[in-house]
Amino acid sequence: MAEFSTSIKEMGEISVINLKGFLDAHTAPALENNFTQLINDKKYKIVVNFQDLAYISSAGLGVFMAYIENIRDNKGDIKLTNMSDKVFNIFDLLGFPLLYEIYKNEDEALKKFSGS
Amino acid sequence: MSVRNKNSISELRVKSKTENLSRIRDFVSLNAHEAGIPDAVVENIMLAVDEACTNIIKHAYNLSPEGEIIIKIDYDEEKFIVTIIDYGKSFEPDRVPLPDLQKYYREHRVGGLGMYLMKSLMDDVEYISIPGKYNQVLLSKNIRSG
Amino acid sequence: MNKKRNIISAQLQQFSAAALLLLIFKIFFGSPDSFYLRIILDLLTAAAIFFLLLALIRFENSRSSSQLSLVLNVGILLAVMFFIILFSDILLPAVFDNINLKMKNPGLVYTIVAFIYVLILVCFISYYLLTLRHFFFLNQRKNVRVYFNTMLVFFIMASLSVNFLQDESVSFISTTVFVVSVLLMIFNSLRISWIAFLSKKEKLYLLLLSFVITTLFIINIINSSGENFYSQILASFSPSLKHFNQIVMIYGSIYFLVLFFTTLFHLPTAEAFDRKAQEVTSLQYFSKLITEVLDFNDLAETVTDIAQKLSGSQSSWIIWKQGNNFNPIASKNIGFMESEKLTRHILNKISFGKLISTKTFNLGEKSLDGSSENQFSVVSLSPIKARGETHGILVAAKSIGQVFTQDDLNAIETFSDYASVAIENSRLLEESIEKERLEKELDVAREIQRKILPLKVPEYPNLKIASVFIPAFEVGGDYYDFFKINENKLGFVIADVSGKGISAAFIMAEVKGIFESLSKTIEGPKEILIKANDILKETLDSKSFVSAAYGYFDLVEKKLVFSRAGHCPLFLLRGGDSKQIKPSGLGLGLSDTEYFEKTLEEYSIDLKENDTIVLYTDGVTEAKNEKLEDFGDKHFINVLQSNLNLSADELSNKIIKEITVFSSGHEQYDDITLVIFKWQQ
């Protein structure tokens, strides 16, 4: 019960990361690699889809916090979508809704990027 | 009515590696379900224990994989209690001189959030630290039956 | 002390007087043949010895020397005596030429010298007799004086009879008396039970000494029967004295011979005896401790200390039950990690509550993680009980190659009973002290709580306010307050401190102080909460956590502005609907300013007619019934929904009534706070 994987698909300028499995202190580095890679490739418009994410701890949240400033400084953003209630509660508890845009589904987030 | 009282304490011993976090979560989940705790609450307890153990791996053992972490679970009608013991560096979450605390939180903001989660998700969080001997975190949740 | 000295010196004076008389007698009468003179001589000699013995007895009583040092003294004196005898054969002829003649016709000088010689010998003999008497009476409970005194009488009779009854016809009397004396000596020599109480080392030492002393006594007897000067001088002084001397020597040799063999046969059991004696002293010591040492930790350490010694074990500790944990405490001669490991191993194999009496438990040869040899071969486990319940296990561990004898186990069993009583007493005492302390603390906490909550609600023409506060027994940490910012603005706060009792009360008081002062200078709720977070971050300890909501009513602008720092959401009842308002915000005191600020929202509501604002703490939604179910959000919303048009007071009463009915089967655990505002334009 420790599996975690990500897959990235390109939707034009926007990169969509699909999270699957359990995001904790052990598996967080994998997500960090994704972000580092994207930043290296100057892909600053990122949507993260939580549809298949079963679990997240503060280590996972920390990944977003680590990269968001850099990404926003480069006129990009990380938008979060498709969270289960359980995952959303954790984000809510930590006040994330005020820091990040959280959407019910991926399309809304993608539209937001195009709009801006 | 599910069986409430535990006859003996369940115990899990693992090395201080992050790859053991999922084992720890499973252990908590198993026992919490045995105690008849509803899923939503079980998830909260799992997360709180995850946060506590992550802290231990990072701070008590400084990411060394050689340390030992002991997780003990006991419950009765009223409380579900998880005790986590480590033999690493004492972590004094109490008063720390002002500059250190700010620096700590600046650099380890996530660690602070972890603690926040523990406190919000559990009913009681207690630390005991015996320097040179062991540290103990006690997480307890008031549970209901029926 | 002085009185004793006086008595001793009185007796010494008597002795000196007798001795002097004796000397004078000797000078005048030499070695008389006359029967009556000889009787007088012997009487005077007896008197002198008698007074000397008395003085020595008194003297010995005032100094209590150990048995071994007495024995040693006897040995030394015997050795000295031996040498005197040895050398008198050489020295005396050198001092007196033609000594044989001198003895027949003694001059003054010779008499005096001979007298002094005899006096020295008499002192030695008295000392031997005294020591033998001392040992005889040692450790005797009954009144055994009669045996010793009878023996002495026979000694005297034997000495005299040899002197005075020399006829063939009556020589059987002296033989009989002599035989009886010897029988009495043997009988009295059996009183040697005092050697049982010596330690093994002392017994070995005694063995050696008694062997030497017996030999010396026997040599002395042989010497005094021979034809050397020693025996001749003694005989010429007083034949009775010579015989008395021999009899005392015989007694001495018999006594020390018996002593030698008895000590020899005591040796194999000496060590076991030592342990038994140690056990008794330990138990005595511990009985005293039960009443003296009241601190639990000190007591536990004493218990393991004694247990380890009593059972001859290498290490000892107590497995103590604290709530749901079992921890090794008061470890003696064993490291913490080791005792932890062994404790766990033991608890895996035996059930804590099922241990009724002392049991042994073999540990395998391999160590528990298989990595190295085991240090201990076997442990004994004794329950520490109170009122039928086991609170702990007293563990004693023996190293490889050693076992617990039945004796060891009996000792530990008895001891653990003692220990259980003592520990229970100490625990009860600490508990009652703790209970009293807690009660006093709660009194103070309630007082603080009472003082910091507002006495009455503010009154405004268009804003009706109702507040209900029901404290939990153990002081739950809720706080609410109102601040008149200015004529048109009313600030309010509602907060909940985690934890209970006096520590929660102190934090409540601190929170009150913070909000009171901040509300005077800062208007915006978000800004106030940010500052409050800054302050509380520094001062809160690890166990504490404050959720709060702060806002103000602007009566002119007709709006409500507020922020929520991790607290329960606010309810707005408007137009037949209830709405939960939950702006983002973390609890106070845990995150740094930057993050706290980023995640905190400020919310504004434009007030409409009959708007009702409900603030509460989780004591409301988490009130429990006898089935331990929560009152819950849904139920709360239902109550609000069903009573939308009531006034603030009526609504608060209704809610409280619902909660009371719901939770009547269960004790109130947390403070219940309800603040209701109703806007009427």
Residue B1 domain flag = no
For residue B29, the distance in angstroms to the closest alpha carbon of chain A comes to 12
HEC per residue, C646-681 = CCHHHHHHHHHHHHHHHCCCCCCCCCEEEEEEEECC
For residue C537, the distance in angstroms to the closest alpha carbon of chain B comes to 9
Based on its alpha-carbon atoms, the radius of gyration of chain B, rounded to whole angstroms, reads: 15
Domain containing A31 equals 4-107
Domain containing B41 equals 6-142
Residue A114 domain flag = no
The CATH number given to whatever domain includes residue A86 is: 3.30.750.24
Residues of A in contact with C586 (CB under 8 A): 94-95
Per-residue pLDDT, B1:
35
Topology adopted by domain C456-679 = Phosphatase 2c; domain 1 (3.60.40)
pLDDT band, very low/low/confident/very high, at C543 (cuts 50, 70, 90): low
Per the CB < 8 A criterion, the answer to whether C85 and C155 are in contact is no
Could you tell me which residues come within 8 angstroms of residue C541 by beta carbon, excluding any fewer than 6 positions away?
Answer: B94, B95
pLDDT band, very low/low/confident/very high, at B105 (cuts 50, 70, 90): very low
Residue A115 domain flag = no
Q: How far apart are CA C234 and CA C176, in angstroms?
A: 24
Q: Which residues of B touch C (CB under 8 A)?
A: 9, 11, 72, 74, 77-78, 81, 83, 87, 92-95, 98, 101-102, 105-106, 109, 112-113, 115-116, 119-120, 125-127, 133-134, 143-146
Nearest-Cα residue of chain A relative to residue C602: A98
Q: Is the pLDDT confidence value at C393 over 60?
A: yes
Q: Is the pLDDT confidence value at A53 over 90?
A: yes
Per-residue pLDDT, C348:
84
Residue B10 domain flag = yes
Residues of A in contact with B58 (CB under 8 A): 25
Which DSSP letter does residue C366 get? B
Q: Is the pLDDT confidence value at C346 over 70?
A: yes
* Domain C293-432 falls under CATH 3.30.450.40: yes
For C21-63, write each residue's pLDDT tens digit. 888 887 777 777 777 777 888 888 888 888 888 888 877 776 6
Nearest partner of C472 among C675, C630, C625, C668, judged by Cα: C668
Report CA dihedral (B54, B55, B58, B61) to the nearest 10 degrees.
Answer: -100
Q: How far apart are CA A30 and CA B19, in angstroms?
A: 13
Could you tell me which residues come within 8 angstroms of residue A105 by beta carbon, excluding any fewer than 6 positions away?
Answer: A81, A82
Q: Could you identify the residue written with the tokens 């309630």?
A: C446
Residue contact A24–B110, C-beta within 8 A: no
Residue A86 domain flag = yes
Residue B106 domain flag = yes
Lowest-confidence range among A80-89, B106-115, C255-264, C662-671? B106-115
Q: Structural domain tally of chain A?
A: 1
Q: How far apart are CA B56 and CA B79, in angstroms?
A: 24
Q: Is the pLDDT confidence value at C479 over 70?
A: yes
Q: Structural domain tally of chain B?
A: 1
Q: How far apart are CA C292 and CA C279, in angstroms?
A: 20
Could you tell me which residues come within 8 angstroms of residue C320 by beta carbon, excluding any fewer than 6 positions away?
Answer: C300, C326, C327, C328, C329, C391, C392
The CATH number given to whatever domain includes residue B79 is: 3.30.565.10
Nearest-Cα residue of chain A relative to residue C564: A95
pLDDT band, very low/low/confident/very high, at B112 (cuts 50, 70, 90): confident
What is the bridge-based pairing of β-strands A77-81 and A45-56? parallel
pTM for the model:
0.56
Residue B65 domain flag = yes
Residues of C in contact with A95 (CB under 8 A): 584-586, 595, 598-600
Q: Is the pLDDT confidence value at B53 over 90?
A: yes
Nearest-Cα residue of chain B relative to residue C326: B9
Q: What is the DSSP string of B53-95?
A: HHHIIIIISTT-TT-EEEEEEEE-SSEEEEEEEE-S-----S-
Average pLDDT over residues C378-392: 89
**3-class DSSP state for residue A57?**
coil
Q: Which residues pair with A53 in a beta bridge?
A: A21
For C127-140, write each residue's pLDDT tens digit. 888 888 888 887 77
Average pLDDT of the residues of chain B? 79
> How many residues make up chain B in this entry?
146
Per-residue pLDDT, B101:
44
Nearest-Cα residue of chain A relative to residue C598: A99
Residues of B in contact with C595 (CB under 8 A): 109, 112-113
Residues above pLDDT 70, as percent of chain C: 94
pLDDT band, very low/low/confident/very high, at C100 (cuts 50, 70, 90): low
Residue A116 domain flag = no
Average pLDDT of the residues of chain C? 84
Q: Is the pLDDT confidence value at C95 over 70?
A: no
For A63-109, write each residue's pLDDT tens digit. 898 888 889 999 999 999 999 999 999 998 888 888 899 999 999 99
Q: Which residues pair with B11 in a beta bridge?
A: B72
For C558-583, write each residue's pLDDT tens digit. 999 999 999 999 999 998 888 999 99
Could you tell me which residues come within 8 angstroms of residue A2 by beta carbon, excluding any fewer than 6 positions away?
Answer: A21, A22, A26, A27, B19, B21, B22, B23
For C161-182, write each residue's pLDDT tens digit. 877 776 777 778 888 888 888 8
Residue B104 domain flag = yes
